[in-house]
Amino acid sequence: MSLSIWLTTICLTVCLTPTASSAQDTHPVANLEVYGRILDTVFSHEEPKAGQLQYSMVLRFMSSNHPEVELVVIVPNGGKAETMLLRVSGPSVWDTANEYIQKTGRADVQQIAKLVQTTKQVVSVSPVRVVLWHSGVLKSIGRSSVELQQDFVSLKKTGETTIFLDGSTYELWFTQGLTQIHWVVMDEEVNDTQAAGHSSVAKWMNEIRRYSFDHIVK
C-alpha cells in the first residue's frame, strides 16, 4: 500500500524565500521538483534491502530561516536502530540553488548538490525510545488525518482556513513492509527550544528534532 498526502496551501517558493519575492520577476528560481531532487541528492543515505528492513522514518525540515535538516531512523530486522542527523552547514540548499540558477540559467541538480556543505552526526537513541517513536509517528498521522477532516468541514461551513506565510515545510516518509506513507505539510516555523507546530505531524516532528539535537554523539 502506498499513501501520499500533500497539504500545501501556499507555494513553497513564497514561504521559503519571503525576502526574495521581488527578484523572482526578473531572475529564474528553483522550482519544487528541482529543489526536492537536490535535497534527495544532498541527503542521500543507504537503507537495508526490503527483506532486511523492519521499518524506517525520514524527517525532513525545510525552514524559512534555517538551513535544511533531515533525520533518518533505520531499524533493521534483528538489529540495532541507526539514527543519523544530516544538516546543511553552510548556506541553505534553496539559496545555493537559486544563486546557481541565476548565474548559469541552468538547474543542474548534481552540480548544485556539490556546492552544498553538509554534516552527518549520529544520534544516541535507546531501543525503548525508538519504539516510542514508532508508535508516535503513527499516532500523529492518525490525529493529523482527523484534523484534516475537521479543517475540511470548517472550510465548507465558514470558507476560512489557516495558512502559514512564513513557516517551515515538514516532510515525512515512513516505510514498514509493503506500506509507505509520505506526508508533507506547511506549518509553523521550526523551534529548537520549545514546542511548535499546528498539526500533530509537525508537532511530533519538532519533538524528534529537538531530542536529536540534544543527543548527538560527540
H/E stretch holding 86 reads strand 82-88
Using one digit for the tens of pLDDT, what is the confidence trace for 104-114?
Answer: 999 999 999 99
Cβ burial of 156 (10 Å; 0-12, 13-18, 19+) is: exposed
Q: What is the DSSP letter of 190?
A: P
Q: How far is CA 56 from the centre of its chain?
A: 14
Q: Where are the domains of the chain?
A: 2-45+52-214
H/E stretch holding 56 reads strand 53-63
pLDDT in tens, the chain (218 residues): 444 444 433 333 333 333 333 334 456 788 999 999 999 999 999 888 778 899 999 999 999 888 999 999 999 998 789 999 999 999 999 999 999 999 999 999 999 999 999 999 999 999 999 999 999 999 999 999 999 999 889 888 888 777 766 789 999 999 999 899 999 999 998 887 877 888 999 999 999 999 999 999 98
pTM as predicted: 0.85
Other beta carbons within 10 angstroms of residue 53's beta carbon come to 17
